[in-house]
Chain A
Amino acid sequence: MSSPVFRGLTVAALAALPALPLAAQDLRIGFASEPSSADPHFHNVGPNNQLRRNVFESLVGTDEAQQLTPLLAESWEPVGDTRWQFNLRDDVTFSDGSPFDAYDVVYTVCRIPGVPDSPSLFTTYTGGITDLEVIDPHTLIVHSAEPYPLMPTEFSTFGIISARANGVDGAAIEFSPEGCGDLNYPATQAFNDGSIAIGTGPFLLESFRRGEGIELVRNPDYWGEAAPWEKVTMLPLTSEGPRVAALIAGDVDLIENPPLQDLERLRADDTMRVVQGISNRVIYIHLDHEQEPSPMITGTDGANPLKDIRVREALTIAVNRDAIVERIMGGVAVSAGELLPPGMFGAHDEGDLPPRSFDAERATALLTEAGYPEGFGITIGTPNDRYINDAQVAQAVAQMWARIGIETEIDASTASTFFSRRNAFEFSAYLAGWGAGTGEMSSPLRALLATRNPDLGLGGTNRGQYSNPEMDAVLVEALRTVDDTARQELLRKASRMAMDDYAIIPLHYEVTPWAMRAGLDYTPRADQYTLPYLIRPVE
């Protein structure tokens, strides 16, 4: 033990340790939920899409605020009402060396509807495509039946795979929305074992082992800026405690979603860095606008008080959002005035539609005016394991409603139970969240507030059955408007109409934190993705 040689070695080893990860350009990430597959088209769900972006690029990229950026397509523009032209890069090759062209896009869109055993297909994004027209290998025209302003956004959601690598002659494909004939498609398993994981992205998939981890290595022939990491290991650390412990112990360099209660300690630690950014997810309370008597409302002789705008306003302004953000969310959230944070498409600019300010006195007065001087009884349904501190937030709202005389109870249950009960309209008021996948206001308005109409894909999650034909009209017009400026104005108008009608009670936007060792930096993203090629070493 005391031999000088041993001591010398120990010192040398210790000195070398901190330098090792940087020198080797290795990055280890502890992530919160694991992808179900490496197949880019198997399962349309956050963790899979996050992994996909490293290996399989899409035509259109998205930046931190979910604004569209050029990626495999250099540019795009509407051609007429129902067509979009995408101009593709001509300097891109797949990792097997074959060139990327428009036929690969056609091949990819052909594969998407037919992935076997898929829990959730990407047809949500490709379903509106009626034809794909290849003008030349780097110019693609996408046809739709209706004006389709969101087409470029749709092309940011799925990764492109190579036709040639699967032995298909892209030029021979006859595209049809019903199916492209009998083509050879890769099996999902072939992506998972790495044999066909051929994309254009900054990384190559080295290995994918469920429950153990994913290894990525730098793509040496990447067309864009090379990733700063030679090798990236992504470890599934799904429990909060072990995840943050792994970061502190130095087993991983960066973790997703460090638990809120540990952020303070991590921030105080000089060897750690915490970054956080607003997400596209709003936490809201939806109210029952339809049923009479409404379930779990007491003391109103069967009337549904939530149909009265004064009651809805009272419930809205009785909530002290800033207090919830500060005390329950530990400051890691932003009070919400509508359904999408400022800075995102269709949302009002900061200060234009601020969160309703807290005014308990006016709320009490409004209740009296509406004929409920003694208040009434209501139950808030909430999941207790879906959103950050969901049941605690509901409890805080219950406190605030209780203050204005509304006897509030909480019915908290696990997410699966909660959502099936909510979908059966068992709640008069429920707490839930909505992440705007497309990054624009049409997403929450369409899902949460448009009059329920399954055929048009409207109001799918409008379990309060809110219906406002005037707002519907503005929203539908926006959905058909290709011009961005006009669409943004229409979306803002629709959002303001809903908020002025107190259709829903927005509480806060979730803020996503990341924790990493000092020496790294990451720009927070609204889509909550952790993308290794954007993690930078800093001095």
Chain B
Amino acid sequence: MSAVETTPPPVDLGKRWRITSRMAGVAVAASLSMLLSGVGLPPLVSRIILLVGLIVLAAALLKGKYRKFFSGPSAYVATASLLLLVVLAIFATELSPQNPYDLRQLDIMDGRLPPGSTTFDGSMTFHLGTDEQGRDILSGILYGLRVSLSVSIAATLAAMAIGVVVGIYSAWAGGRIETILMRIVDFQLSFPSILVALMLMAAFGRGLDKIVIALIIVQWAYYARTVRGTALSETRKEYIDAARGLGLPDWRIVFGHLLPNCIPPLIVISTVQVANTIVLESSLSFLGVGVPITQPSLGLLIANGYGYMLSGQYWMSMYPGVALLAIVASINMVGDRLRDTLNPRLTR
């Protein structure tokens, strides 16, 4: 048993999958950059490529472990609902009856209409009602999902990148550098993240870019700590000694051997962290320091309707709340399944 554990857990997909997953990664990156910059392929095509790329990446991640992953009905439900919500978020523009961020499409005369109402001229039905600005709640939720998901995924990826660099570097370098870096991490982790994020947002002002930066700052330390732990135990394993024995340069050992073997625990935490980040972003927006008020995310939609809860106009807060609950719950459940699937130590 111990012999098995000291050999490197092979992150080997087989050649065909390796190529496929790399292609998918490139496709995701390319379609995202086209969507963000607004040049290149039509947005709809980019979105389809993005979705397919994400599905391929997920499949590559779980290759050979499908059975383990889908070991109960909750896994199916969570995966299906996560997939649905991701599809809704990606295709929000195509699916929404209204662009809730375009002030020209809103009319305060349509404000606070109950679910099922239509606009004055009957051109559009508000299936989930409207908020006080006349914003269609359904469209608001779809766009809000997109904001929440993209902000938290972007923040998570960036925080992970920073955390990985700091964690691996301190594990590899050791000594004083490790001590200094890890004390910084300790210092950072000793503050509640919502408090730090609130202070940062109060200083930065509102804006999507600013909220991403604030979320990165409050999160990188988690990854640094985790990666350092994993990297420390990995560096003591024989395959690293073997690589050293072969005379490979440090950077090749770190990036070619050490890093890939630190990935599985990272994937697990980052999944759960995405859900936490969504909650954090929503809390900040709810408290009025997050996204711009003309571009509401789920948290801001909830905040907008919050004052009307007692007066019976429940739909403004409730439906965005349900959407937030659904996305966070399904990500967490998928994250749980991923942990059970990818973390060999938890195998029963």
Binding site for B on A (CB under 8 A): 240-241, 244, 259, 261-262, 264-265, 323-324, 327-328, 384-385, 391-392, 395-396, 398-399, 402-403, 408-414, 417
Are B108 and A328 in touch, CB under 8 angstroms? yes
Q: Do A328 and B132 contact each other (CB < 8 Å), given the known contacts A399-B103, A409-B294, A410-B294?
A: yes
User: Does B344 lie at the interface of the complex (its beta carbon under 8 Å from any beta carbon of A)?
Assistant: no
Are B288 and A414 in touch, CB under 8 angstroms? yes
* Chain B residue at smallest Cβ distance from A259: B307
Q: Mark contacts of B69-103 with chain A using CB atoms, 8 A cut-off: 1 yes-contact digit, 0 otherwise.
A: 00000000000000000000000000000000011
User: Does B276 lie at the interface of the complex (its beta carbon under 8 Å from any beta carbon of A)?
Assistant: no
B313 / chain A contacts, CB cutoff of 8 Å: 261
User: Does B106 lie at the interface of the complex (its beta carbon under 8 Å from any beta carbon of A)?
Assistant: yes
Instruction: Give A137 to B289 CA distance when docked, in angstroms.
Output: 59
Q: Do A399 and B206 contact each other (CB < 8 Å), given the known contacts A384-B293, A385-B288, A392-B133?
A: no
A409 / chain B contacts, CB cutoff of 8 Å: 292, 294
Are B109 and A261 in touch, CB under 8 angstroms? no
> Which of B109, B132, B288 lies in contact with A392, CB distance below 8 A?
B132
Instruction: Give A391 to B300 CA distance when docked, in angstroms.
Output: 12
B308 / chain A contacts, CB cutoff of 8 Å: 261
Are A262 and B288 in touch, CB under 8 angstroms? no
CB interface residues, B 103-144, toward A, < 8 Å:
103-104, 106-109, 111-112, 132-134
10 sampled A-B residue pairs with Cβ under 8 A? A259-B307, A261-B310, A265-B311, A323-B108, A327-B132, A384-B288, A396-B108, A399-B106, A399-B134, A408-B103
B104 / chain A contacts, CB cutoff of 8 Å: 399, 402-403
* Chain B residue at smallest Cβ distance from A398: B103
Instruction: Give A392 to B108 CA distance when docked, in angstroms.
Output: 10
* Chain B residue at smallest Cβ distance from A266: B311
> Which of A244, A262, A399 lies in contact with B107, CB distance below 8 A?
A399
User: Does B205 lie at the interface of the complex (its beta carbon under 8 Å from any beta carbon of A)?
Assistant: yes
Per DSSP, are chain A's interface residues mostly helix, strand or loop, or mixed?
helix
Instruction: Give A412 to B295 CA distance when docked, in angstroms.
Output: 12
Q: Do A327 and B293 contact each other (CB < 8 Å), given the known contacts A241-B310, A411-B205?
A: no
Are B310 and A323 in touch, CB under 8 angstroms? no
Taking the closest CB of chain B, its distance from the CB of A422, in whole angstroms, is 14
B111 / chain A contacts, CB cutoff of 8 Å: 327-328
Instruction: Give A399 to B109 CA distance when docked, in angstroms.
Output: 11
Are A327 and B292 in touch, CB under 8 angstroms? no
* Chain A residue at smallest Cβ distance from B102: A402
Instruction: Give A392 to B310 CA distance when docked, in angstroms.
Output: 19
Are B293 and A402 in touch, CB under 8 angstroms? no
Instruction: Give A396 to B108 CA distance when docked, in angstroms.
Output: 7
A410 / chain B contacts, CB cutoff of 8 Å: 292-294
Taking the closest CB of chain A, its distance from the CB of B112, in whole angstroms, is 8
Binding site for A on B (CB under 8 A): 102-104, 106-109, 111-112, 132-134, 202, 205-206, 288-289, 292-294, 307-308, 310-313
B312 / chain A contacts, CB cutoff of 8 Å: 265
B292 / chain A contacts, CB cutoff of 8 Å: 409-412
Are B133 and A396 in touch, CB under 8 angstroms? yes
> Which of B132, B205, B307 lies in contact with A413, CB distance below 8 A?
B205
A414 / chain B contacts, CB cutoff of 8 Å: 202, 288-289
> Which of B109, B294, B307, B310 lies in contact with A395, CB distance below 8 A?
B294
B133 / chain A contacts, CB cutoff of 8 Å: 392, 395-396, 399
- Ordered nearest first, which 7 A-B pairs have the shortest CB separation? A402-B103, A261-B311, A327-B108, A399-B103, A327-B111, A402-B104, A396-B108
Instruction: Give A392 to B111 CA distance when docked, in angstroms.
Output: 11
Instruction: Give A391 to B132 CA distance when docked, in angstroms.
Output: 12
A265 / chain B contacts, CB cutoff of 8 Å: 310-312
* Chain A residue at smallest Cβ distance from B308: A261
Are A417 and B132 in touch, CB under 8 angstroms? no
> Which of A323, A398, A412 lies in contact with B109, CB distance below 8 A?
A323
Instruction: Give A384 to B310 CA distance when docked, in angstroms.
Output: 21
* Chain A residue at smallest Cβ distance from B107: A399
Are B206 and A412 in touch, CB under 8 angstroms? yes
* Chain B residue at smallest Cβ distance from A416: B202
* Chain B residue at smallest Cβ distance from A260: B307
Taking the closest CB of chain A, its distance from the CB of B121, in whole angstroms, is 16
A240 / chain B contacts, CB cutoff of 8 Å: 307
Listed residue (A259, A261, A410) with the most chain B CB atoms within 10 angstroms of its CB: A261
Q: Do A395 and B293 contact each other (CB < 8 Å), given the known contacts A327-B132, A402-B103, A411-B205?
A: yes
Are A399 and B202 in touch, CB under 8 angstroms? no
Are B310 and A262 in touch, CB under 8 angstroms? yes
Instruction: Give A414 to B218 CA distance when docked, in angstroms.
Output: 22
